Amino acid sequence: MAAALPNDRLGFLLSFRGELTGARIRAALGVAGLHPRSVMTLMQLASGATSQRDLAAAMEIDPSQLVAILNELEGQGLAERRRDPADRRRHIVEITETGAAALERVDTAVNAAERELFGGLTDAEQALLRSLLDRVVVDPTGHDCGAE
Amino acid sequence: MAAALPNDRLGFLLSFRGELTGARIRAALGVAGLHPRSVMTLMQLASGATSQRDLAAAMEIDPSQLVAILNELEGQGLAERRRDPADRRRHIVEITETGAAALERVDTAVNAAERELFGGLTDAEQALLRSLLDRVVVDPTGHDCGAE
DNA sequence: TATTGTTATACTCTATAACTATA
DNA sequence: TATAGTTATAGAGTATAACAATA
């Protein structure tokens, strides 16, 4: 018997809709002329200044990848690196006022994107969708399923 | 004011859960030792034989990308190419019996993955999630969101 | 001249390891 | 010796253009 078609499967549906939603969100993140990864970094920095090591850990990326992102952000005046006087190996990374302003423009664009994506759902339905999604993939531990 | 944090936004939640779900599904697709793209190709071929051009169009990938996928599938005996006698430019692509058997193993693995992902939800809740997801991104006009 | 499949090229992303400067 | 940041290199994935065979 034929295997179930992708479009009939809830897992595929969630994966594909998530991909479309991600693409729409990423397009909104680009309003400030920034890469999505740069915006995600600014969002992290908005919570407070940190070292590059901690920042990379929070974003779950390798510290070496963060270098290029921060170079770009610093070149655009959206973030700043300065040496930690207490440990001169460390960089303290901070968002600038310009960076915070860019983040606000991005925020407005993301709000618009979400209205567009979820505008067909009532507030109650959006809350329901959120609660259902929160109960998916509840236990990612156990199998790393080496998709290598 | 500070921008909303990613985790507070339904768009980010859907995107991230979709990504996790996709990773779990792709791991399941790998049970037959195949790349996800190869499995997706076999799934398309299960609907019937086509030319490479039509197959690429159905999968929304470039025909040149399909070449490597079919080389792999043919090398493993899971699909076959033969010239179309009516138009010798064309290749007719078909799934083999071995390919169909591999697809069934994959199907079983995907079923298991979906039980794992959505097992915390009742059947009614799964149906609800499906219907809510179907109503997201209902109007991609203006943006190029052409999934299916 | 147009179309089908193929090859070649280039660009992005990512993962990893080696290097520097500090501790 | 260990750590923070940086640089360099290689791999996967993808997008595009050029190409040969056929119509």
Q: How confident is the model at residue B137, as a pLDDT?
A: 79
Measured from Cα to the C1' atom, the residue closest to D15 is: B62
Q: Judge whether B24 lies within some domain.
A: no
CA neighbours closer than 13 Å in the CB half-sphere of residue A136: 29
Q: Judge whether B7 lies within some domain.
A: no
Own/partner pairs, B53-57, CB within 8 angstroms, 24+ separation: B53/B90, B55/B93
CATH number of the domain enclosing B78: 1.10.10.10
Structure tokens at B114: 């979906």
Q: Residue B89 is which amino acid? A: R
Q: Judge whether A85 lies within some domain.
A: yes
- Say which residue the tokens 């490597």 belong to: B68
Average pLDDT on B108-131 reads 97
Q: Judge whether A46 lies within some domain.
A: yes
The answer on pLDDT for A63 being more than 90 is yes
- Residues of chain B with Cβ-Cβ distance to A128 below 8 Å are 128, 132
Pick the more confident residue, B141 or A106: A106
Class of residue A124 by CB neighbours under 10 A (exposed 0-12, middle 13-18, buried 19+): exposed
Instruction: Tell me the C-alpha distance between A129 and A23, whole Å.
Output: 19
Q: pTM of this prediction?
A: 0.89
Taking the CA atoms of A34, A16, B24 and B30 in sequence, report the sign of the dihedral they define.
negative
Q: Judge whether A128 lies within some domain.
A: no
Q: Which nucleotides of D are covered by protein (CB under 7 A)?
A: 3-8, 13-18, 21-23
Structure tokens at B73: 């599938």
Q: Judge whether A126 lies within some domain.
A: no
Domain region containing B97: 30-117
- Say which residue the tokens 């590059």 belong to: A52
Q: Judge whether A6 lies within some domain.
A: no
- Give the total number of structural domains in chain B: 1
Q: Judge whether A109 lies within some domain.
A: yes
The answer on pLDDT for A43 being more than 70 is yes
Q: Residue B17 is which amino acid? A: R
